[in-house]
Chain A
Amino acid sequence: EVQLVESGGGLVQPGGSLRLSCAASGFTFSSYSMNWVRQAPGKGLEWIAYISSSATVIYYADSVKGRFTISRDNAKNSLYLQMNSLRDEDTAVYSCARGFGAAGTSIDYWGQGTLVSVSS
């Protein structure tokens, strides 16, 4: 059974940093691309970052480019999101989602998400 479990969320002050993790199990992690998607309270889904299976292709939404860094450790079956210079508008539930298909263009499995609250 495919499982994606996020952790690392919490309350952080504006300008602060946080590192999210996503532990994957039930599939060959190193064979799949991964995404981070967030959802602000009461709002829609926002895709924010993508990393290919071998980390050779990485790209970001403009809203987080230069502040967030996606990475992975295939030996540990883990995906990460380093978030710096956090802003109030980064408050959201952050979910990891497995990519598949041509250039990882599709998503199949999702984690439950971890809540990040940015507030002073």
Chain B
Amino acid sequence: QTVVTQEPSLTVSPGGTVTLTCASSTGAVTSGHYPNWFQQKPGQPPRSLIYNINNRHSWTPARFSGSFLGGKAALTLSGVQPEDEAEYYCLLYFGGVLLKVFGGGTKLTVL
């Protein structure tokens, strides 16, 4: 069974920088996994933030950026705002087995 792992929770101060990661049980995350990142606030549907590693949607603030870090996909928030407090999910594509898997989510607290 393919498992995608994220940090369960992280805390950051307003104005600070935080990096969330997304790991695959099958090995290093690569461009072939086309990492996507999503933000979800309580009672709302998810909102897409980043696609294909590091591409922002037209509505995604510039303080959100995607990359790779130590064999994992990463989402970095720079200059964190109070409204960034939310759950963040990554999504990986596994083409060899035609499967998409979400990570378990990271609850980001801005404190």
Contacts and interface: CB of A to CB of B under 8 A. Distances in A.
Contacts, number: 67
Nearest to B58: A108
Interface stretch (A10-18, A21-29, A68-76, A98-106): A98-106
B34 A110 contact: no
Main secondary structure of the interface of B (DSSP, over half): strand
Interface residues of A, number: 26
Interface string A77-112: 000000000000000000101001111011111111
Question: Which range holds the interface residue count of chain B?
Answer: 20 to 34
B97 to A, nearest CB: 9
Contact of B104 (A44, A101, A109, A112): A44
Interface of B: 1, 34, 36, 38, 40, 45-48, 51-52, 57, 87, 89, 91, 93, 95, 98-105
